[in-house]
Chains A and B, each alone.
Chain A
Amino acid sequence: MADSHTMPEAKGHNPDTDGSLPPEGELESHLQAKHMVINMGPSHPATHGTVRLKVELDGETIVKIDPEIGFLHRGFQKSCENVTWTQCLPYTDRLNYLSAMMNNFGFLNAVEKLIGLEIPERAQYIRVIGSELHRLTDHLTCVGATGLEMGGFAPFLYGMEARELIQDRVTELTGARLTTSFGRVGGINRDLPDGWADKVRKTLTRTEELLAEMDGLLTRNRIFVDRTKGTGVISADDAIDFGWTGPALRASGVAHDLRKAHPYWVYERFDFDIAVGEHGDNYDRYLVRMEEMRQSIRIIRQALDTIPAGPIIVDDWRIALPPKPEVYGTIEGVMAHFKLVMEGIQVPPGEIYDATEASNGELGWYLVSDGRGRPYKVHVRAPGFPVLAAVPHIIEGKMLADLIPTFDTINMIGGEVEQ
């Protein structure tokens, strides 16, 4: 591809490129400004993912910006189409490595709807708890990194402390820190460990303290407010037109949350509010994320208090692996186990589009099954994709310094955007 940006010819004398000394007095007269193209990335510390930004600058003003993605592309769809439905789960984890369980459960929810399967109530509660824990880690990282890149290291450390605590709980639950692969078609992998609920309650209390610290350090901080308020502004109409969802859309004043709009699992039993912003700028996106974390803590507390006893996966050997004593002791158990592992779950032919509210917005799945044990088509609607597509619209004509907070608060995730 020919580079779409061409350097305009420098007009007149240019002290940066000409070898000769400038005439007497010119260095003091004014700052030389010329059009220049710079590359941010592909792995710039402020881009939260592998993305190359071709930025054309006039002085400090961004004339044109062209985000180029695809550096992390790993053939997600093609990989899924060549393994069984269950084997897709590790791939879905890696879409957004900070909220693996949400991607995992979102995919499973779509598969279960395609089968027409109702999962046990306890499994639904555990899915809600897992999702909200990972919403917390995702937002903590985003807000912490935003603070860091605006020059505040302490909020980042507080965010990391809270994230570490939550990830310890996630490790106890799932056995893995980042890529959990915790869900199974028809339920989840394991039940809650003994005494885990109390540990989580303590962790949430500590997280609330740390959130208050971050809030105190950032929300009224002069530098932070000056750099985020009124920058990266997008109106509600534009955000909708670009297909924005999640915290980025809500910061523009649209109270749209799939947990309320189309409740899935047991979300309608919990009492929580949708955080809504007003101006659609970076500051509002930060505030919305802070409030969403408090709401997530509320949801987890209610879920832990009301979780019912019962099975965590459906009792159907065509979908879930049989219990180990059955596998080792009966021929039916061995056969069911063998068929599930070798052939995969037989999802009846059909198609579906289903979406859940992931940490950055609507995580949609368009699935097609031809009934042969493997997905025929797996399409993921990553929430970051339309958000990133709108960056040229909101940043062109603004200052280079505004690009950093904008990129922080839209929270572009390479893994899901680039599939």
Chain B
Amino acid sequence: MDRVSAHFPEAVVERYVDRAGGAWAVIHADSLPKVATLLKNDPELEFKLFGSMDGVDRLHLAENDPRFEVVYILYSLKRNEHVRLKVRVSEAQPVIPSLTPLYRGANWWERLVWDFYGIRFDGHPDLRRILLYEEFQGHPLRKDYALRDRQPLIPERPIKDIFRGPGTSGHS
């Protein structure tokens, strides 16, 4: 992290250590690709393993401006440590540069965050919903999405060239 601060002093918004001693850094959304590139490719760092990522909706927290946080967990096999990055985005413009060109492992996680929080990733090759269906309205992990909200069943999709077996009318 010291190295990142030294290279890109303007990229780091905030740095702190959590209760268990884990190091965190909050990064400007625009600088995320270059910080990640440094973390991945610097021979001293080599954070090559894309651990995980997820979003946080800070709507009900004391500090909630901007509303969303996206958390990245990277791991370095060489240094045997995790690094935790964060990017904050507002509700009005929830767009972050995608890390998929850098880490192929980011592909599905970014789809997951898009699906659940509605945060878009600029440059993602295939930003579809991953766990929910395309017709789903809204993003269910946002805190203003009600726990018991229900959505209507969707009609069957038309599928070309489908053959249905005996006992059916033949075509849908």
Contact = CB atoms under 8 A, between A and B. Distances in A.
Given A78-B141, A350-B18, A381-B51, A376 B128 contact: no
Interface string A334-374: 00000000000000101111110000001010101010000
Contacts of B50: 241-243, 386
B18 A82 contact: no
Contacts of A245: 49
A377 interface: yes
Interface stretch (A67-75, A214-222, A279-287): A67-75
The 4 A-B residue pairs whose C-beta atoms are closest, nearest first, are A243-B105, A381-B52, A1-B134, A70-B131
B116 to A, nearest CB: 8
Nearest to A368: B56
9 contacts: A75-B140, A78-B140, A113-B20, A238-B104, A245-B49, A353-B52, A353-B73, A355-B82, A366-B54
Interface of A: 1, 3, 6-7, 69-70, 73, 75, 77-78, 82, 113-114, 116, 238, 240-243, 245, 254, 256, 261-262, 348, 350-355, 362, 364, 366, 368, 370, 376-377, 379, 381, 385-386, 388-390, 393, 418-419
B15 to A, nearest CB: 14
A418 B131 contact: yes
Contacts of A240: 48-49, 77
Interface in B113-151: 116, 128, 130-135, 140-141, 147
Interface in B20-53: 20, 22, 24, 48-52
A350 B80 contact: no
Interface in B68-110: 71, 73, 77, 80, 82, 84, 103-105, 107-109
A351 B16 CA distance: 11
A6 B104 contact: no
A306 to B, nearest CB: 27
Nearest to B103: A241
B164 interface: no
B18 A386 contact: no
Given A7-B160, A370-B61, A70 B52 contact: no
B19 interface: yes
Contacts of B147: 78, 82
B161 interface: yes
A371 to B, nearest CB: 10
Contact of B20 (A78, A261, A354): A354
Given A69-B131, A113-B20, A376-B61, 13 more contacts: A1-B128, A1-B134, A1-B157, A7-B161, A70-B130, A70-B133, A262-B80, A351-B18, A353-B22, A368-B56, A377-B56, A379-B71, A386-B105
B171 interface: no
B159 to A, nearest CB: 6
B52 A364 contact: yes
A116 B140 contact: no
A267 B164 CA distance: 55
A388 to B, nearest CB: 8
A389 B22 contact: no
Contacts of B160: 3, 6-7
Contact of A366 (B49, B71, B80, B130): B71
Contacts, number: 111
B19 A393 contact: no
A243 B60 contact: no
A243 B157 CA distance: 34
Nearest to B161: A7
B48 A241 contact: yes
A370 B62 CA distance: 9
A162 B54 CA distance: 38
A108 to B, nearest CB: 14
B85 to A, nearest CB: 11
A243 B72 CA distance: 12
A113 B18 CA distance: 10
A146 B75 CA distance: 30
B105 A242 contact: yes
Contacts of A73: 131-132
B18 A352 contact: yes
B72 to A, nearest CB: 10
A418 to B, nearest CB: 6
A116 B18 CA distance: 11
Given A6-B160, A75-B140, A381-B73, A362 B108 contact: no
A376 B60 contact: yes
Nearest to B146: A78
Given A116-B19, A243-B50, A362-B51, A353 B140 contact: no
Contacts of B134: 1
Nearest to A377: B56
Q: Which of A116, A350, A364 gathers the greatest number of chain B CB atoms within 10 Å?
A: A364
Contacts of A1: 128, 133-135, 157
A4 B161 CA distance: 14
B130 A352 contact: no
A241 B104 contact: yes
Contact of A389 (B48, B82, B108, B157): B108
A254 B77 contact: yes
A363 B56 CA distance: 19
Contacts of B71: 353, 366, 379
